[in-house]
Amino acid sequence: MAHGHHQHHAAEKDLLQLSGKANGLATVLLIVGIVAVLASLGVSMSSGGLKRFYHAYMTGYAYVFSIAFGGLFMLLIHYLVRAGWSVAVRRIPEALAGTIPIMGLLAIPLVVCAWSGKGDVYPWAQAKPAHPTGSWVHTIEESTAVGPKSAHHGEAADSHSDDYHAKPAHSAAHGSHDDGHAAAPGAKPVSALTMGKMVWLNPAFWTGRIIFYFVFFSLVALYFIRKSRGQDTTGDHTVTERLNLAAAPLTLLTFVLFTFAAFDLFMSLDPDWYSTIFGIYYFAGSIDAMVATTIIIAAVLQRAGYLQHSISKEHYHDLGKWLFAFTFFWGYIAFSQYMLIWYANIPETTYWFAKRGATTNPQQMQLLGGWTVWTLALLFGRLLIPFAGLLSRHVKRNNASLIFWAVWILVFHAVDMVWVVMPEYELGFTFGLPEVASLLGLIGIFTGSVVWRLTRSPLRPVKDPRLPESLAFQNI
Amino acid sequence: MSTAIAEHPTSHASVTEDAGPLPQVAAVMAEFENVDDVMHAARTVRDAGFTRWDVHSPFPIHGIDGAMGIKMTVLPWLVLCGGLTGLLGGLALTWWTNASKIPTPFMANLQGYQFLISGKPVWSLAANIPVMFETTVLLSALTAVFGMLILNRLPMHYNPLFKSERFHRVTDDRFFVVIDSRDPKFNESEVTSMLQKLNPLSLEKVED
Amino acid sequence: MATITTIPHMPVRNGDDIDNTFDDARIRAPLIVGGKGFADVTRVVTRIALEEPPGWWYLAFAGALGLLSLMGITIGYLMLAGVGVWGNNQPVAWAFDIVNFVFWVGIGHAGTLISAILFLFRQNWRTSINRFAEAMTIFAVICAATFPGIHVGRPWLAYWLFPIPNQMAMWPQFRSPLLWDVFAVGTYFTVSLLFWYVGMIPDLATLRDKSKNRIQQILYGIFSLGWTGSCRAWHRYERAYLLLAALSTPLVLSVHSVVSFDFATSQLPGWHTTIFPPYFVAGAVFGGFAMVLTLAIPCRALFGLKDIITLRHIDNMNKVMLATGLIVAYAYSVEFFTAWYSQHYYEQFAFQNRVFGAAPWAFWCMFICNVFAPQILWFKWARNSLVITFIVANFVNAGMWFERYVIIVTSLQRDFLSSSWGMFKPSWVDLALLAGSFGLFFTLFLLFIKFLPIIAMAEVKSIMPQAHAHGHGDPDLDRTDYRPDETAHDHPGGKAHPAV
């Protein structure tokens, strides 16, 4: 009768410690991952050089960092709202969050790139950028032979920026002219707008911020993981209560810093462009991908014989609801960002979508058609199809169908990350072996780290005061 | 006459024609004090194979669906259909009025017309999504509410159960098991003795 | 396991408030205190609707009616004279009318949030407050809809807003955010009304059964539709409620997002920013919870509902208010940061203008009320003090009005060309309509608390420990054996009957 009691007694006999083989698996994944990243580097050198590699690496990095961070945020929210149902699966987000220090290390190539002075990824990080032009708008118009021709460049563009753009930009633009500024060969043109924000976007300050973000995220993650693991032996219920309290300010700070990390790492790939919602856009995808990853890890562990009675259909159903909710939330945020920029139609911001193929201009589409298809794939694959697919409760309560949609979401989250990063490589469609190799490589390194993290503690909390509630949990 | 069981209402006339003389007893009703007792009673009645019976309670009891053997309602599927209708309706409305020039037969002035506004294409899907979304939600919600009422045969203002003074506490703090006399297995004395064994607070015949 | 089943001692505060705000991870705090049973809940709640109202009710109602008449007279004058009697001008073509509209629509968000989103999150504490929060939603939306209704200038032609076939062969312009508003607010009002009414059916039946007065019996009888508490009916009812909750959740997001589109689709600095949709939604919930607290604190005291709307409910609402307030503060900060980061002269100017420019008092009122005042809610003693809570909630009520004033009016006062700058000064008609809208709101609200069940009795009962079978253990931990899609397998002996 009381289902909960059955569940509970059975769950106590569950296999909770990953076998020794897991360490081997983690090592293999790490090695394969590193080899794939090196392969990406190798392939890039013959097709676009270091710059291509950095972009490919950035794509993969955006992907794995979002999932690791999602784990941290899940932990914080779990404690903040005193959740009961999620205790049984909490070790999985803990393992994801536990890789955040590794994410910090994986950011080193990006820092190296920022300091290289070439601006391979970040145009603002060039030691000697090309002389300021109006903005990217002109570049896209010239490259696609649309709109006013090169007369727009040079003088016309400069005078345009003088009266239209910010005052600091004005002086910055002229300052560099007066100095007889000599651009490095192959330097990307940097607009007057970007010149104006170099107080914020410069390698030293940027690196400082990145280090700060990762130190902060790592400390929060390790604090929560250590306390949770400590409770496994002591069973001290005050640990949960203390974490409930700590979660409130830490959720706030973590969220704010994460959105600024999104600005710094990804929005500044195009330093002219800005969107206040961009941090939330990356956040929405991050949580969705984390939920999908949690579902898959839980299912894999159960298939390998672990947690047989700890994680039930009810937990999958709830995770499925989160997957559905954040798929919709991602769509809501993505639509808000796109619709507002499209509707207001201000050239300084719409070009960002034009670069991604969201254009009906036939000449632009000749160059950007690949991205047009990609954008439509995103619309359908990231939002409409999984939305319809996950609507039914039967889909969420059936393990096979839920795993299918979790994998689907993870694939299209990668599509999304490519869409955010790769159009910044150059005007035109770029996607190929380097990106695939980098994505797979970083996923390998990440997964290896997660497996290693999972071996370090029982696969579910064993003495959490809310564990019985979680094990007995049932949906209405 | 109809009985308390909303599931199988039949009009007075049809009962009289089909079942001959008007039954004296419309239903037998047992009153219970708490959830445990009524759940136990529900399982007993279910296992005895009755089909025209119901449990009445002041609030939805978790687990009663299993105890009574109630299957999932089709309501979600109706709502899905309502939602799709709303979505397509919203799409058709915005497209037909603002982006098409299709006339309506017999009604000369009822047709869409195209015009430019703020440089947007005549058919701008992004600008129509809010309206399509709202019509989807509106029709889904209307279907959910009216579908629920229709499936529950509500409103139904006459019900022999209301004649019972005791039954007034069903919306307060008491629980009732009601077995309809039209149940094929209904036999007044057997039903009464079965319910008597379940320790009800009271046992009452509901007259029509 | 670390579970305990006995509830720790709960001290009494403020005279007769039982403090159930303890934090013990081993047990879920009781949400209904004072040893209440089902019949006690029924008695406490039905008494309010069935008995003669207390003296203060008549006083309050007279005051509300007075303000409502002021609104009626002012609207009459507005019809005769035209909208020129407002302070609106060029460039400030939108002022109090739209500020009040957004303010009231925002307040209307907490009701659906509580009844829908908290329902999906299984936050059982919502049951004590959802009914009057939903009522508040509906009345707030009515207040909101009045303003654009009279702003159209010729309100008798307001039906032009709807796609009704007409002899002019004229259709609404579906690419306009203002028209999206018509659909969003109209849908929101309809769905909220249905949600409210559906939730009320079982409680109206309780009033029907408890009433001794023939007229009440007939009226409550008609509106309770012949509800008998049938479990076959409850089954579909619960499913419908869940579906409505699942539909209302994206709906509530969409409504204030669409309201934000009115501004954000434009090119005006201060209006055009992509964070507006989620930021407006958070602000709406923030302001809505403030209004729920403003109403709940006096209601629970005046009607003896302290054991149903407990200190824990107040504490939780305070936490939601703090959280949404912080989201709003985040949005303010990101707007300021991005205005600088954009390096656009007009963006930067618009935000400097807010803080130091044409009407900085509005900005500072907003900032103090919305960002500073709620920070005291980080402290538990403040959340548990009804006086502090009430004061903070009213700061937020005011702050959210100023927020809309800042966004709408100060942005319009200073647009691109200094030759087109102007100032806005409200006329007496503006002020009378704002005051009058509170009259409309409170008139409806006072009628509601007099005649309808202000607590969702059936829902409150369903979360009480007695409502759960096998009630020997902790009610929350000890659920029953219902698994909807396994019913047939769970009970091979029992015949599963189709519900339809």
In whole angstroms, give the CA distance from residue C190 to residue C198. Answer: 12
Between these two residues, A475 and C362, which has the higher pLDDT value?
C362
- Tell me what pLDDT residue A143 has: 54
Residue range of the domain that includes C233: 38-156+178-414+422-463
Cross-chain CB nearest to A165 (options C338, C345, C470): C345
Output helix, strand, coil percentages for chain A, rounded to the nearest 5: 75, 0, 25
pLDDT over threshold 50, residue B2:
no
What distance in Å separates the CA atoms of residue C141 and residue C152, rounded to the nearest whole number? 17
Q: Is the pLDDT of residue B89 over 70?
A: yes
Whether residue C175 contacts residue B98, with contact meaning beta carbons closer than 8 Å, is answered with yes
What pLDDT is recorded for position A185?
60
CA distance C189 to A56: 49
Once rounded to an integer, what is the mean pLDDT over residues C134-154? 93
Quick one: pLDDT at residue A132? 60
The answer to the question of residue B141 being in a domain is: yes
> C271-323: per-residue pLDDT in tens?
999 999 999 999 999 999 999 999 999 999 999 899 999 999 999 999 999 99
Residue C475 lies in a domain: no
CA distance A338 to chain B (A): 9
Q: What is the pLDDT of residue A418?
A: 97
* Any C CB within 8 A of B16 CB: no
DSSP B70: B
Is residue B179 located within the same domain as residue B118?
A: no
Q: Are B156 and C226 in contact (CB under 8 A)?
A: yes
Mean pLDDT for A428-445 is 96
Mean pLDDT confidence for A112-116 = 93
Q: Which of A223, A240, A247, A222 is nearest to A463 (CA)?
A: A240
Q: Which of A168, A240, A468 sits opposite C343 (nearest CB)?
A: A168
Which A-chain residues 305-344 have CB contacts (< 8 A) with chain C? 321, 328, 332-333, 336-337, 339-341, 343-344
Band of the pLDDT at C486, cuts 50, 70, 90? very low
C76, part of any domain = yes
Interface of A with B (CB under 8 A): 335, 338-339, 342-343, 345, 360, 391-393, 476
Q: Which residues contact A444 (CB under 8 A, 6 or more apart)?
A: A29, A30, A32, A33, A34, A36
pTM for the full model?
0.90
Return the percentage of chain C with pLDDT > 90, whole number. Answer: 77
Q: Looking at the structure, do residues B31 and B133 belong to the same domain, yes or no?
A: no
What is the reported pLDDT for A193?
87
B71 to chain A, any CB pair closer than 8 A? The answer is: no
| Average pLDDT value for residue range B47-57 | 94
In a domain, C485, yes or no: no
Chain B residues 46-75 with a CB less than 8 Å from chain C: 46-47, 49, 51, 54-75
Mean local confidence (pLDDT), C442-471: 90
pLDDT at A19: 86
Alpha carbon B44 to its chain's center: 24
For the segment C203-249, what is each residue's pLDDT rounded down to a tens digit?
A: 999 999 999 999 999 999 999 999 999 999 999 999 999 999 999 99
Chain B residues whose beta carbon lies within 8 Å of the beta carbon of residue A392: 76
The least confident of B16-20, B89-93, C22-26 is: B16-20
Residue pair B72/C484 in contact (Cβ under 8 Å)? The answer is yes
Other CB atoms within a 10 A radius of the CB of residue A374 amount to 23
Inform me whether the pLDDT recorded for A140 exceeds 70. no
Q: How many CB pairs under 8 A join B and C?
A: 285
- Give yes or no for A277 touching C (CB within 8 A): yes
Q: CA-CA distance, B60 to B69, in Å (whole number)?
A: 15
φ, ψ at A104 (rounded to 5°): -60, -45
d(CA C282, CA C57): 33
Chains linked to A by 3 or more Cβ pairs within 8 Å? B, C
Q: Is residue C22 part of a domain?
A: no
pLDDT at A152 over 60: no
Task: Indicate whether B94 pLDDT > 80.
Answer: yes
pLDDT band, very low/low/confident/very high, at B21 (cuts 50, 70, 90): low
Q: Distance (Å) from the C-alpha of residue A59 to the closest C-alpha of chain B? A: 28
Question: Considering only A203-212, A283-292, C44-53, which range has the smallest mean pLDDT?
Answer: C44-53
Q: Is the pLDDT of residue B135 over 60?
A: yes
Confirm whether B16 is domain-assigned. no
> Which pLDDT score, from 0 to 100, does residue B104 have?
76
* A94 and A75 Cβ atoms separated by less than 8 Å: yes
3-state secondary structure of C464: coil
| Mean of pLDDT values over B184-190 | 90
* CA-to-CA dists, residue A8 to A5, A254, A467, A469, angstroms: 5, 34, 9, 9
CA distance B148 to B141: 11
* C429-455: average pLDDT: 96
Distance CA(C76)–CA(C88), nearest Å, equals 18
For residue C210, being part of any structural domain is answered with yes
Pair (B144, B82) in one structural domain: yes
Backbone angles phi, psi at B202, to 5 degrees: -155, 160
SS3 B157: coil
> Is residue C483, in this structure, part of any structural domain at all?
no
> ipTM of the predicted structure?
0.91
- Share the mean pLDDT of chain A: 87
DSSP type of residue C424: -
Per the domain annotation, does C125 fall within a domain? yes
Residue B203 in contact with partner chain C when CB distance is under 8 A:
no
* Residue B44 C-alpha, separation from nearest chain A C-alpha, in angstroms: 15
pLDDT confidence of residue A474: 85
Minimal C-alpha gap between C44 and chain B (Å): 12
Q: Find chain B residues with C-beta within 8 A of C280's C-beta.
A: none
Chains that touch B (3 or more CB pairs under 8 A): A, C
Taking contacts as CB-CB distances below 8 angstroms, the residues of chain C near A169 are: 343
- Higher pLDDT residue, A82 or B6? A82
Structural domain including B120 reads: 75-151
Q: Quick check: is B15 in a domain?
A: no
At residue C209, the pLDDT reads 95
Interface test with B, best of C173, C218, C234 (most B CBs within 10 A): C234
Q: How far is C61 from chain B (nearest CA, A)?
A: 30
Residue with tokens 């007792």: B37
Whether B35 and B90 share a structural domain:
no
In sequence order, what are the residues at sequence separation of 6 or more whose Cβ sits closer than 8 angstroms to the Cβ of residue C97?
C86, C88, C147, C148, C150, C151, C430, C433
Chain A residues near residue C335 by CB distance under 8 angstroms = 276
- Of A81-85, A275-279, A361-365, A405-409, the range with the lowest mean pLDDT is A361-365
pLDDT at B120 over 80: yes
The pLDDT confidence band at residue C202, using thresholds 50, 70 and 90, is very high
Mean pLDDT, range A294-309, rounded to an integer: 95
Residue C370: DSSP 8-state: I
Least confident of A4-13, B3-12, B26-35: B3-12
- Has residue B17 been placed in a domain? no
Task: Please tell me the distance from the alpha carbon of residue C355 to that of residue C333, in angstroms, as a whole number.
Answer: 13
| Domain total in chain C | 1
The set of chains that have 3 or more CB pairs under 8 A with C is A, B
β-sheet bridge partners, residue B53: B179
Q: Report residue A133: phi and psi, to 5°.
A: -115, 180
User: Count of domains in chain B?
Assistant: 2
**Is residue B96 domain-shared with residue B138, that is, in the same domain?**
yes
Quote the pLDDT of residue A119.
85
Q: Is C170 part of a structural domain of the chain?
A: no
pLDDT digit string (tens) for C66-122?
999 999 999 999 999 999 999 999 999 999 999 999 999 999 988 888 888 899 998
Q: What is the CA C108 to chain-centroid distance, rounded?
A: 4
Is B177 part of a structural domain of the chain?
yes
Report how far residue A371's alpha carbon sits from residue A356's, in angstroms, rounded to the nearest whole number.
5
Cα distance between residue C276 and residue B149, in whole Å: 38
Q: From residue C191, give the alpha-carbon distance in Å to each of B136, C161, C239, C453.
A: 12, 19, 16, 19
In a domain, B34, yes or no: yes
Task: State the pLDDT confidence band at A171, using cuts at 50, 70 and 90.
Answer: very low
pLDDT at C249: 92
Residue B87 and residue B143 in one domain: yes
Mean pLDDT check: name the lowest of A194-198, C149-153, C235-239, C495-499: C495-499
